[in-house]
Amino acid sequence: MIMVDPIITALLAIFAVPFIGAFLVGLDRKLTARMQSRIGPPLLQPVYDVIKLLHKEPIVVNRVQIIYAGLHLAFMVLCVVLLALGQDMLMVLFILAFSTISLILGGMSVRSPYSRIGSQREIMQMLSYEPILILMLVGVYLVNDSFMARDILASGKPLLLSLPLIFPAFLMVMTIKLQKSPFDFSTSHHGHQEIIKGITLEYSGPFLAILEITHWYEIFLLFFIVTMFWATSIPVGLLIAAVCFFCEILLDNIMARLTWPWMLRFMWMVGLGLAVTNVLWLYI
């Protein structure tokens, strides 16, 4: 990898990533609209939304919420920075989990039943995907002999060839993390009414903007990991990421929302099963 000053890398990660994320979200909305025979908003609509939200009055239900929204963003940014610096990926994963936990705790700090239910469902989502994510890294370690992101090319061949079953398991995890159907339990980007806006219901104005920006970082992070499955050739990696992106949106538009017990069973049986199988043959 090219040696760049770590501070410049970190700054680049902090300031460039949200724009890529915002672009992806905009593209998502556009594609979704086309699938639903609508024209859809302009590509930069997410950015306009966030700018508008930032200028609104800071209405909250309590002050604790704000702290958790801030930590949610801070941990997510830290995640992206550590990954950009080529640091230990297991640590990155842990910090990603803490970003989500901050969101959960923020949702639980308000006395709103909808937000509470959303938070508890988010906990169940974490329970169902966290083991798969760690097993993915175990697979990466067994191939590369290192947990470091900078050693991602160590084996010299694309990870996807060694981890063919972990890749689909990761895509399932990504569906949960992107809050796409059939797994959009805790909150949803669409106007479906179930628990209203769930975990993010009681956030508004600038604090909702913080959650949106965090989502930009997250979406970048997830597709960055997808690209890493074919890191030997960046164009191929990007192509895979693009196909996955399209499939996620397609899935979101053709699937109905299921229940969280179903998700837990499905992820632990199918997702975890795939990941364990893949890891097992790497051990032998």
Nearer residue to other proteins within complex by CB, 128 or 179: 128
Q: Is 5 in the site for other proteins (CB under 8 A)?
A: no
Q: How far is CA 1 from CA 86, 151, 228, 282, in A?
A: 10, 9, 13, 26
Query: For residue 148, which phi and psi values (nearest 5 degrees)?
Result: -75, 135
- The greatest distance separating any two alpha carbons of the chain, rounded to the nearest whole angstrom, comes to 59
Nearest to 215 by CA among 106, 100, 120: 100
| 134-193: contacts with other proteins (CB under 8 A) | 134-135, 138, 141-142, 145-148
Nearest Cα to Cα of residue 54 among 203, 206, 156, 185: 206
CA–CA dist 205, 56 (Å, integer): 5
**CA quadruple 77, 187, 258, 219: dihedral, nearest 10:** -30
Residue from 20, 101, 236, 255 touching other proteins (CB under 8 A): that is 101
Q: Which of 62, 233, 259, 277 touches other proteins by CB under 8 A?
A: 62
CB of 253 to other proteins, least distance (A): 27
Shortest separation between residue 182's beta carbon and other proteins, angstroms: 20
Q: What angle is formed at CA 20 by the lines to CA 18 and CA 26, rounded to 5 degrees?
A: 100
- Choosing from 22, 25, 85, 219, the residue that interacts with other proteins (CB under 8 A) is 85
Q: Which of these segments, 36-44, 79-87, 159-167, 220-228, binds other proteins (CB under 8 A)?
A: 79-87
Query: Per-residue string for binding with other proteins, 214-253, x by CB under 8 A?
Result: ----------------------------------------
Q: CA nearest 223: which of 187, 171, 274? A: 171
Establish how many alpha carbons lie within 13 A of residue 250's alpha carbon, considering only the half-sphere containing its beta carbon: 6
Round to whole Å and give the CA distance between 222 and 68.
22
* Selected range binding other proteins among 33-41, 66-74, 225-233, 248-256, rule: CB under 8 A: 66-74
Residue 3, SS3 per DSSP: coil
- Write the interaction track for other proteins spanning residues 102-131; mark x where CB under 8 A is met and - where it is not: --xx-xxxxxxxxxxx-xx--xx-xx--xx
Query: What gap in Å lies between CA 271 and CA 17, rounded to an integer?
Result: 29
Nearest distance, CB of residue 209 and other proteins, angstroms: 13
Q: Among 37-45, 81-89, 220-228, 235-243, which window interacts with other proteins (CB under 8 A)?
A: 81-89
d(CA 102, CA 96): 10
Number of residues that bind other proteins (CB under 8 A): 66
Q: Establish if 43 lies at the interface with other proteins (CB under 8 A).
A: no
List contacts with other proteins (CB under 8 A).
10, 57-64, 66-67, 70-71, 74-75, 77-78, 81-82, 85, 87-88, 90-91, 94-95, 97-98, 101, 104-105, 107-117, 119-120, 123-124, 126-127, 130-131, 134-135, 138, 141-142, 145-148, 196, 201-202, 276, 279-280, 283
